[in-house]
């Protein structure tokens, strides 16, 4: 019998890092470190934007402040940032195993705080969607879909944990925050696509002369660079077509980002939606372990259909009825005869 492999020095060192915080598998820690770390870093970098009239004004995409500087849209962006940023920080803690094991009360309270923060951030996002990053129609639909997906996911996660269906609670929480995390991948794709359309050439997008003038902040530069805005019949309802160029003045940079934002968002959301399903299907043992725990807790709580008291595919779909690992399914007389026949055939063959 071959001796078990001894972990190398690197594995031993890494285990000393992730075992104390509750991770038992290296790949789980690696994925948490990458994705939760990316979310945590992104949120930390954006905390400064809570200064709406200061850091956000200076750091937002060219043209955004023109639309968000006053009125209900300023209220919307303030509400969005003031809720989604704290939620993004707190949710990282939800995926640390040691907190769930040793501080379950904190895990529950933290969850109850995160849910309303996420929902309020959706209200703010919808308020600014019309003009956020250009507010193109595909961008507005993207924001709406992202709101629907994350709201549905968070409610399904909540319902399942109230039914003690821990395996489905885990799955829907992971889905929800993978969907929400697409905003990070979105920005990477947006920059890359902006560079591509600039290199390719021939892409144009309409921008209002008032917005261009506001972005440039210099009357002389505005009149010299965009004389059509001052010419008679030089615009269509105050709009002109700007080429997508990511390497010239601020107006054209903002215009290019606005052109690519929606496309980048759809691609990022698709990548995250597919990626999270791949991950969930590659971790069936963890799902089965949690379903067994769910069965035990639902049985103790007196729920009907223990093991499937929440939203599960065997009750809501056409999957086979789930049974705990130590419980064998009962067989009918016909099935027993069939099994005996198979045993006789096997004996004859031997």
Give the integer Cα–Cα distance in Å for 134 and 145: 18
pLDDT on residue 51: 94
Give the integer Cα–Cα distance in Å for 67 and 63: 7
pLDDT at 97 over 70: yes
What is the mean pLDDT of the segment spanning 329-338? 45
Give the integer Cα–Cα distance in Å for 312 and 26: 28
pLDDT on residue 249: 86
Half-sphere exposure of 103 (CA within 13 A, CB side): 14
pLDDT at 130 over 50: yes
pLDDT digits (tens, 9 = 90+) for 172-187: 999 999 999 999 999 9
Give the integer Cα–Cα distance in Å for 87 and 79: 12
What is the mean pLDDT of the segment spanning 295-311? 92
How does 284-308 read in b/e, with b if 16+ C-beta sit within 10 Å?
Answer: eebbeebbbebbebbeeeebeebbb
pLDDT at 204 over 60: yes
- pLDDT classification of 95: cutoffs 50, 70, 90: very high
The CA radius of gyration of the chain, in Å to the nearest whole number, is 27
- pLDDT classification of 345: cutoffs 50, 70, 90: very low
pTM of the model: 0.86
- pLDDT classification of 5: cutoffs 50, 70, 90: low
What is the mean pLDDT of the segment spanning 20-31? 83
Ranking 45-59, 125-139, 333-347 by mean pLDDT, the lowest is 333-347
């Amino acid at each position: 019998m071959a001796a078990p492999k001894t972990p190398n020095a690197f594995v031993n060192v890494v285990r000393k890092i992730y075992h104390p915080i509750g991770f038992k598998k290296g790949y789980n820690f690696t994925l948490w470190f990458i994705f939760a770390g990316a979310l945590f870093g992104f949120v930390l970098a954006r905390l400064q934007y809570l200064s709406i009239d200061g850091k956000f004004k200076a750091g937002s995409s060219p043209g955004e402040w023109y639309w968000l500087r006053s009125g209900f849209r300023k209220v919307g962006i303030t509400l969005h940032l003031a809720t989604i940023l704290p939620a993004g920080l707190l949710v990282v803690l939800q995926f640390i195993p040691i907190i769930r094991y040793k501080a379950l009360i904190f895990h529950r309270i933290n969850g109850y705080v995160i849910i309303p923060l996420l929902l309020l951030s959706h209200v703010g996002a919808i308020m600014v969607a019309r003009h956020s990053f250009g507010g193109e129609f595909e961008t507005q639909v993207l924001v709406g879909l992202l709101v629907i997906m994350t709201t549905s996911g968070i409610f399904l996660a909540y319902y399942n944990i109230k039914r003690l269906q821990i395996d489905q609670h885990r799955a829907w929480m992971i889905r929800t925050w993978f969907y929400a995390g697409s905003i990070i991948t979105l920005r990477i794709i947006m920059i890359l696509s902006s560079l591509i359309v600039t290199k390719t050439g021939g892409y144009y997008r309409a921008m209002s002369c008032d917005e261009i003038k506001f972005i440039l902040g210099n009357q002389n530069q505005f009149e010299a660079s965009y004389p059509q805005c001052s010419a008679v019949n030089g615009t269509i309802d105050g709009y002109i077509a700007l080429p997508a160029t990511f390497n010239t003045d601020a107006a054209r940079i903002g215009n290019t980002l606005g052109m690519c934002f929606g496309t980048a968002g759809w691609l990022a959301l698709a990548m995250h939606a597919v990626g999270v399903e791949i991950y969930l299907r590659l971790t069936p043992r963890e799902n089965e372990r949690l379903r067994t725990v769910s069965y035990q807790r639902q049985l103790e709580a007196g729920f009907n259909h223990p093991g499937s008291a929440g939203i599960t595919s065997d009750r809501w779909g056409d999957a086979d009825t789930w049974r705990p690992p130590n419980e064998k399914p009962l067989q009918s007389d016909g099935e027993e005869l069939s099994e005996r026949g198979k045993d006789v055939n096997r004996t004859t063959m031997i």
